[in-house]
Structure 1
Amino acid sequence: MKALVLAGGSGTRLRPITHTSAKQLVPVANKPVLFYGLEAIAAAGIRELGIVVGDTHAEIEAAVGDGSAFGLEVTYLRQEAPLGLAHAVLIARDFLGDDDFVMYLGDNFIVGGISDIVSGFMAKKPDAQIMLTRVGDPRQFGVAELHPDGGVKSLEEKPQHPKSDLALVGVYLFTAAVHEAVAELKPSWRGELEITDAIQWLIDRGYHVESTTITGYWKDTGNVEDMLEVNRLVLESMEPAVQGESLDSELIGRVRLEPGARVERSRIVGPAVIGAGARVADSYVGPFTSIGADCVIADSEIEYSIVLPRASIEGVRRIEASLIGHDVQVTPAPNTPRAHRLVLGDHSKVQIHDRT
């Protein structure tokens, strides 16, 4: 079996972070979310991996390399434009050959990995297998309608009027039968080749398509709220470790200081991670916070947040539920009455509380 990981796309819901960084490389507990998927694929016993990349290909390739760090053999497949999941299968035809494969969306996060899913597929050998989970607003996802016996009746991509609350999780398993389906597709109303249409093509022609409804944790980390929630979940299971320095400070609960980190006269309440080479001084870092490598947190308070490498936060009280990008500088504003001075990137969102 091979694996196909999709790591293209523009990440519009994570802008402005993704104006300058691939969404799959935004870190969760100081590790890119893509890496969790690669580790899950390797743990399932898969070695041959194709990664579909787009405009951020250079960044993805620099981070993953040849895959040997994960026990994988990586082939990069260039997608000139984000034309749909089925289009990714289409351009990967030569790489995949006639092998079975698992397709994994690179910005998805699944607790417990995919080893059981892969072994179950290999034992039963359906033509395709989809994973489903119940969601509050299925209009944002591919949606499945099931027969009373649990068989898959129909699939629809991001419907305005969903027929169920069962959303497709970003892991799909296929035999070579899917290539015939993909070759027959026409672009949807979104202008994309939809994987849901390919699976529907298989269903309509009598191929064996199975579904499994999962009850474990799954997230599409496409927006800030979901990134923070996944960060919280990973930190919950993190083992504490102090590999850096703690001077005149209080470390409470599960706190990880990575090598070269330095905490001075501060209070860190876990679960939290302070990245390699980061410095925290005269500050409070609260639960569910990941501070990236080489950051500076001074005379400030922050919790339930992700701070990317080399950012600095100095003299600010208080920050929470935030995603702060690479090399950002956060400082107090000048004490000018009734005025705000802002320098914001495209598509930014700002919440300002004016005290009366």
Structure 2
Amino acid sequence: MKGIILAGGTGSRMYPITKVYSKQLALIYDKPLIYYPLSLLMLGGIKDILIISNEQTIPLYQRLFEEGKHLGINISYRIQEEPGGIAEAFILGEEFIEDDNVTLILGDNIFYGYFDFFYEALKKNTGATIFGYRVQDPERYGIIEFDENGKAISIEEKPKKPKSHFAVPGLYIYDNDVCSIAKNLKPSARGELEITDVNREYLNRGKLNVIRIGRGVAWLDTGTPEALLKASSFFGVIEDR
């Protein structure tokens, strides 16, 4: 299993500080934001990790982590010239992934709590595993619809009329087919390769596993200044206990 952290994007909601550095280097209490997704991959036993970001920020990550030897892992880097969508990570990372399965985590997503279900999911050898997290504002996310038996039957990206309140967090596990799937995607109306289209393809193939995240796990999407502040406060309370 390989791991990819997608730490690029324009960071438009964090402007103007993102003119200077990536939002994934913003401080969350006492450590940079990117430490949190990196830690999750490491706790899952993933040793080979690729960080994808823009040309301006990659040298900063290299100064921070070098090759990862001091952490007991191997870190590689790849430049994303322009934001091309989450699914572009599998095209940029194809040589890194080689014949392995891969876990992708977004660099601005933080997970905290009981996460054994994620570690178990890493043991699957085929198909895709994504997660469902109940939210109050489903219009902002990719949303999963379930049937009466709890089986996923559709996925929509930021629907105006959501069919459920279960959002897809920025954590995905795929078999090696994901590279060819990503290469065959057509850009969306906003000109990006959408991760929802990757997940929809696995769903159409009958190879999409969805795990609903219940109580005991916090998912923090730190894409706004307010969310960064809340995340820092959250971990400040945890660390002070």
Task: Tell me the TM-score normalized by structure 1.
Answer: 0.63
- In the other structure, the counterpart of 2:128 is 128
Distance 1:188 1:211 in 2: 24
For residue 213 of structure 1, what is the amino acid of its counterpart? R
Distance 2:116 2:33 in 1: 18
Q: Deviations over 1:263-288 (max 9, x none)?
A: xxxxxxxxxxxxxxxxxxxxxxxxxx
Per-residue deviation, 1:16:
2.0
Per-residue deviation, 1:72:
1.6
Query: Does residue 99 of the first structure (1) align with residue 90 of the second (2)?
Result: no
Larger Rg: 1
The runs of 5 or more residues in structure 1 that have no matched partner are 240-253, 255-356
Equivalences, count = 238
- In the other structure, the counterpart of 1:142 is 142
- In the other structure, the counterpart of 1:87 is 88
Normalized per residue, the structure richer in helix is 2
Q: Deviations over 1:182-215 (max 9, x none)?
A: 1221001121101110111122133x21111213
- In the other structure, the counterpart of 1:246 is none
Distance 1:106 1:231 in 2: 16
The runs of 5 or more residues in structure 2 that have no matched partner are none
- In the other structure, the counterpart of 1:209 is 208
Distance 1:113 1:185 in 2: 34
- In the other structure, the counterpart of 1:315 is none
For residue 29 of structure 2, what is the amino acid of its counterpart? A
Alignment of 1:312-331 (within 5 A): none
Per-residue deviation, 1:141:
1.4
Task: Tell me the TM-score normalized by structure 2.
Answer: 0.92
- In the other structure, the counterpart of 2:162 is 162
Alignment of 1:140-289 (within 5 A): 140-206=140-206, 208-215=207-214, 216-239=217-240
Distance 2:149 2:106 in 1: 28
Q: Deviations over 1:279-308 (max 9, x none)?
A: xxxxxxxxxxxxxxxxxxxxxxxxxxxxxx
Distance 1:115 1:45 in 2: 12
Distance 1:205 1:116 in 2: 23
Where 1:21 maps in the other structure, the secondary structure is coil
Return the structure number with greater relative CO, CA threshold 8 A, min gap 6: 2
The verdict on how the C-alpha distance between 1:5 and 1:50 changes in structure 2, with shifts beyond 3 A counting, is same
Distance 2:33 2:113 in 1: 14
Q: Would you say the 8 A contact 1:6–1:105 is kept in 2? A: yes
Distance 1:64 1:115 in 2: 26
For residue 60 of structure 1, what is the amino acid of its counterpart? Y
Per-residue deviation, 1:71:
2.2
Identity %: 35
Per-residue deviation, 1:126:
4.5
The verdict on how the C-alpha distance between 1:115 and 1:58 changes in structure 2, with shifts beyond 3 A counting, is farther
Superposed CA RMSD: 1.7
Distance 1:112 1:64 in 2: 25
Q: Would you say the 8 A contact 1:6–1:51 is kept in 2? A: yes
Q: Would you say the 8 A contact 1:40–1:115 is kept in 2? A: no
- In the other structure, the counterpart of 2:73 is 72
